[in-house]
Structure 1
Amino acid sequence: MLHVFAVLAAALLFGTTGTSMALGPENTTPLSVGAVRLVIGGTGLAAIAFVLARRHARHSPARPPRFGVRPLALMGLTGFCLALYQPLFFLGTERNGVAVGTVVALGSAPILAGLLEWALTRRVPGGTWIMATALATVGVVLLGFGGEAGTTTGTDPLGLIGSVGAGATFAVIANVQRGLLDQGWDPFTVVGSMGAGSAVLSALVLPFVDLRWLATTPGLVMALWLGIATISIAYVLFTWGLGGLTAATAATLTLGEPLTASVLGITVLGERLSVLAIAGLIVLAVGLALLAWGSRAPRDPVPFAVEG
């Protein structure tokens, strides 16, 4: 059950991203914020994770890789996916608005994670996961398309591609990390490598974005929170929690992110949700509660088809 709480805590931190940006300086751009967030967060994630990894006994895989896929390459893949998630997610929200873009990205992630896990491990998701994911996804859709009272949103094909792509990158992260854990790698080594890789890639973007907002107090506070809380701490919690859950279950539990974002929008930003969106919050909460209840039993490790 602690693994469930760890992933839900990570989702809670993920859910503060939108509110933090809303309270930050106005002269920011999604690309500049995303790059700074990952440079700070990825570096912090690597530092925290590698310190924790040194205290663990497991530092090397228990089984050799198969099909020529090396663990270091897979760790690099997670860093690339984390860095790629940012522009894809922001493309979706820019083209279709925050509500629709978030709905498609977060709603597609657990479904794609479940399908990818089935393809890699031949593990068919259980009935509880299917029911809970269906409820949670419906809740996210109602929440997103309900939106704020009196507002409407549209859809753009390129934006939809970006949002689904963001969901796919998260699904890859969850499955690859789950596979590395099954192979015997220490969870903190796995997540630290992802943080280091994403920080290096994001640093290459910094010379091409406007960072004047970072010199202000609100901008610096926002950047530190987004980096340390929503990346460094959140992904340590997520990856540790993933050690006791399936990739599909962990991905569905992260749907606590829009639940958190909506609550903060109401309580901190003064947003008013429509009746449809309120219904979505309730359905989403029921789905997450069902999944948490069904995930009480420890997860038995299963072979990871790509790695052996």
Structure 2
Amino acid sequence: MSSTVLRARFTHGPLPILGACFLWGTTGTVSSLAPASAPAAAVGAAGLVVGGLLLFLTARGAREVVVRADRRLLLLGAVTVAGYALAFYPAVARTGVAVATTVALATAPIVLGMRSRPLVTSTAVAGCAALVLGGGEAHVDLVGVGLAVVAGLSYAAYSAVCAHLIGVGFPARAVVGTVFGGASVFTLPVLLWLGVGWLSAGSGVAVVVHLSVLTTFVAYLLFGMGLRHTSAAAATTLTLAEPAVAAVSGVVVLGERLPVVSWCGMAVLAVALAALAR
């Protein structure tokens, strides 16, 4: 196999998206280390403001996207990126990581993936649900679930917007940088309104650095790279790998134990994602 083919496999399609999932899988654990005085939405907003700005400032071709791309799509992308951050973190705070992650990440592939790959998508969603909820200790808060649905719909929307703009010829990095840069502008007033006093603590700064640099800047560079040759429907289904990463890290790093149902769900999810990646 030539070096060009190998490079294409590692820089296009499923692998970069799975790399982004690995980074996203650390979000719940890291955000829980923020100071107790930090509102959940403020933690997500701070990570997006800094990470979105980094994506925009380092994106070559962002000016071309701003000038030539459909402004309505750019606005929709920016608003839904902001909506995801402002809805997902409060959802986690209200209903827990397990339920919020399952609902948010399952909503997007259900919306986008059922038409193109119904069997694989439904199998992946079922495996994800069994993995995360298999312990039977989930706490369901209706407002939290509603916020998680909003986050999932937001994720589906901006994934579709970015995939479309990349598909019509705009550079992936420029598209992601423009959309996330716009989202940081929309989110900054919300962050200031919620308060930033908690950032005076060292743990607050460390959490924001992790969320902005790794789970926003680096992860979405990988995600945009993967969208070059992966549909939005397939990409959102692949991101169901995120709960698996979070679960395994909990077992390896924190010594947590997973019930048999969760391990079975992880196996089902792995099979579905492998089929999709092919």
TM range (shorter): 0.7 to 0.9
Deviation track 1:122-179 (CA, whole Å, cap 9, x = no partner) reads: xx51xxx3333222111111122114xxx62243333332222211111111111111
Q: List alignment gaps of at least 5 residues for structure 2.
A: 1-8
Decide which of 143, 148, 172 is 1:163's aligned counterpart: 148
Residue 119 of structure 1 corresponds to which residue in structure 2? none
Question: Match of 1:40, as an amino acid?
Answer: V
Cα distance in structure 2, aligned partners of 1:60 and 1:22: 36
Question: Match of 2:120, as an amino acid?
Answer: A
Offset of residue 59 of structure 1 = 4.6
Contact 1:112 1:171 in 2 (8 A): yes
Q: Secondary structure at the match of 1:185?
A: coil
Residue 141 of structure 1 corresponds to which residue in structure 2? 129
2:263 matched to 1:264? no
Cα distance in structure 2, aligned partners of 1:95 and 1:220: 23
Offset of residue 42 of structure 1 = 0.6
Offset of residue 60 of structure 1 = 6.3
2:18 matched to 1:8? yes
Residue 304 of structure 1 corresponds to which residue in structure 2? none
2:118 matched to 1:130? yes
Residue 96 of structure 1 corresponds to which residue in structure 2? 95
Cα distance in structure 2, aligned partners of 1:97 and 1:254: 19
2:135 matched to 1:153? no
Normalized against structure 2, the TM-score is what? 0.88
Question: Match of 1:110, as an amino acid?
Answer: P
Contact 1:60 1:184 in 2 (8 A): no
Normalized against structure 1, the TM-score is what? 0.80
Decide which of 171, 174, 179 is 1:186's aligned counterpart: 171
5 Å-filtered alignment, 1:199-210, equals: 199-210=184-195
Offset of residue 212 of structure 1 = 3.0
Residue 32 of structure 1 corresponds to which residue in structure 2? 42
Residue 86 of structure 2 corresponds to which residue in structure 1? 87
2:159 matched to 1:174? yes
Residues 97/234 of structure 1: CA separation in 2 closer, same or farther (3 Å cut) = same
Decide which of 29, 38, 42 is 2:52's aligned counterpart: 42
Task: Name which of structure 1's ranges 234-243 and 265-274 shifts more when overlaid on structure 2.
Answer: 265-274
Residues 26/155 of structure 1: CA separation in 2 closer, same or farther (3 Å cut) = closer
Contact 1:113 1:172 in 2 (8 A): no
5 Å-filtered alignment, 1:222-301, equals: 222-293=207-278
